[in-house]
Amino acid sequence: MLITLADYRRIYSTIHSLLIADSVDSHEASMLFSVYGAQILKRHYGIAAQPVMGSAAYHLGLQAKVLAFGDYQAGQLKSSDSQHHWWIEADGYLIDFMAPLFPVLVKRAGKEARIDPWMMQKPMAKAKKILTDVQAQGDFFISENNVLASEKMSAMVTEKAHIQRGKLAIDWFVKTPKKMPSPLNVKFEGALQANKTKLITYKSFLVSGAW
């Protein structure tokens, strides 16, 4: 593994705590987990991490089977503006900091399967070449869309809320076993919220295993 389960849980919990505090829309979540997670890995672990976007499919076990992100076109899984997923690629590994929320996504898809909040950290060499090869728990398929990713990133850097939250994620984060400072007193930026403050509480969310 590139990072330990404890490291993964701390990074995931830091980002998730910030997103909950800002009531971030779920469709933005994978991008923000990826972007902020990559920044934390670079700053605090010295890991050359890169957020990546495209279509993806993860096999979550016999009950839930395959969780797919993208549009099916002529039997292939393609990413689009509204249907895509983000992950991180670093030193030959795929890391998906949104993975502990997969149980929520499975439930929203109408499946009754019991899925635990697990870590997704896999060697890139184990990625399946074609979607139909995703057959067993832990199998995964990814297909990058660098053009669309660049468009999304260009739009993101123009939004002050995203920039401020990303900086908060980096500055607030403390590596285990040190205790995370909480609550965090944040002063908003921007004309509409200038000089307004709020407290952000850190919550350590459960991550009970690994895919």
**Using one digit for the tens of pLDDT, what is the confidence trace for 129-169?**
999 999 999 999 999 999 999 999 999 888 888 888 899 99
| Contacts for 176-183: CB closer than 8 Å, 24+ residues apart | 176/6, 176/7, 176/10, 177/6, 180/10, 180/13, 180/14, 180/204
What per-residue confidence (pLDDT) applies to 187? 74
Give every CB contact of residue 53 below 8 A, 6+ residues apart in sequence. Answer: 31, 34, 79, 84, 85, 86, 87, 144, 145, 146, 148, 149, 152
The pTM for the full model equals: 0.93
Domain spans in the chain, listed from the N-terminal domain onward: 5-210
Residue 92 is predicted with a pLDDT of 97
Residue 112 pLDDT class (50, 70, 90 cuts): confident
SS3 209: strand
Mean residue pLDDT of the chain comes to 92
- Whole-number pLDDT of residue 191: 46
Q: How far apart are CA 116 and CA 112, in angstroms?
A: 13
pLDDT band at 193; cut points 50, 70, 90:
low
CA–CA gap between residue 196 and residue 204 (Å, rounded): 26
**Count of Cβ atoms closer than 10 Å to residue 76 Cβ:** 12
Mean pLDDT across the stretch 7-17?
97
Which CATH superfamily, name and number, covers 5-210?
Hypothetical protein Atu2299 (3.10.550.10)
